[in-house]
Amino acid sequence: MGLLTGLLTLPLAPLRGTIWIAEQLLAEAERELGDADTIRRLLVEAEIAFESGKLSEEEYEAVEDELLQRLERLADSGALEEVTYGE
């Protein structure tokens, strides 16, 4: 980028910075939403909330169904490795 171009586009720098931050946040959110460990943690947290009375049975089932569907989509896409415990 030349000196003249840099000077002319200087007022747009805050906008470019904001767009970059938004792109980074989106990438991190997508990574976390597609992470099997995060989904499993959310399942455990939902179960704890249900057992402590913070979630009704209907709310818990809705959350559980949505999280299990996300895990299933990960498994179908091949992004989820099968985990075995106790072997």
How confident is the model over 49-83, as pLDDT tens digits?
999 999 999 999 999 999 999 889 888 877 655 54
* Domain spans of the chain, in order of start: 36-79
* Distance (Å, whole) CA 74 – CA 80: 5
How confident is the model over 7-21, as pLDDT tens digits?
777 787 788 888 889
pTM beyond 0.85: no
Torsion of CA 23, 26, 28, 32, to 10 degrees: -170
* CA dist 67 → 35, 62, 86 (Å): 11, 9, 24
Query: Which residues have a Cβ under 8 Å from the Cβ of 14 and sit 6 or more positions away?
Result: none
